């Protein structure tokens, strides 16, 4: 008797789940192959120099517009995004761009990147002014990219120069 009731209850649940699935499918818009070519479905990538283990915005720094979604945030390096008036827009975590990871066989050696170039993904927001970089609880840098954002608005193909 209990088995019969369990079977009937399970079938009723399956019907409910199927009905839910059909309702969701009816209210979901079909995938648009042009999704990645729409300007609102993109993000910025900041390319900047590293000098003495500090991110530096110099004449070679650029911001490019990249189609698609930002990479999934993970890591211990926090990027806090401030607007031009100093109000926080957002923050997220990423892998530390100032740590060089060895690719030599099974060597897992990490070292500080003394000099080089880094790429930092940012949400597409034209009011970005300053980025604050934090590792653990230590602030490791602050850079003003407001001028780069303005140049990117004038040159939407990217480049930033």
pLDDT computed for residue 153 by the predictor? 64
pLDDT higher than 80, residue 158: no
C-alpha 121/C-alpha 43 separation (Å) is: 7
Max avg pLDDT among 20-24, 40-44, 81-85: 81-85
C-alpha 61/C-alpha 54 separation (Å) is: 14
Mean pLDDT of 37-62: 89
List beta partners, residue 111: 100
Domain spans of the chain, in order of start: 1-30, 35-154
pLDDT higher than 90, residue 134: yes
Mean pLDDT of 51-78: 89
Max avg pLDDT among 65-74, 100-109, 134-143, 152-161: 134-143
pLDDT computed for residue 1 by the predictor? 53
- pLDDT single digits (tens) 76-127: 899 999 999 999 999 999 999 988 877 766 666 788 888 999 999 999 988 9
Of 156, 157, 160, 159, give the one whose Cα is nearest residue 148.
Answer: 160
C-alpha 116/C-alpha 109 separation (Å) is: 18
Of 84, 73, 97, 78, give the one whose Cα is nearest residue 130.
Answer: 84
């Amino acid at each position: 008797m209990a088995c019969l009731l369990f079977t009937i209850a399970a079938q009723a649940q399956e019907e409910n789940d199927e009905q839910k699935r059909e309702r969701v499918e009816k209210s979901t818009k079909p995938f648009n192959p042009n999704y990645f070519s729409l300007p609102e479905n993109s993000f910025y990538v900041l390319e900047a120099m590293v000098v003495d283990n500090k991110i530096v915005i110099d004449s070679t720094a650029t911001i490019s517009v990249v189609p698609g979604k930002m990479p999934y945030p993970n890591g211990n390096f926090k990027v806090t995004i401030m607007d031009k008036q100093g109000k926080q827009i957002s923050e997220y975590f990423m892998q530390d761009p100032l740590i060089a990871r060895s690719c030599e066989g099974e060597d897992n050696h990490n070292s500080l990147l003394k000099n080089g170039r880094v790429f930092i993904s940012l949400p597409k927001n034209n009011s970005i002014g300053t980025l604050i970089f934090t590792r653990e609880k230590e602030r490791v840098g602050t850079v003003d990219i407001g001028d780069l954002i303005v140049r990117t608005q004038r040159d939407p193909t990217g480049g930033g120069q």
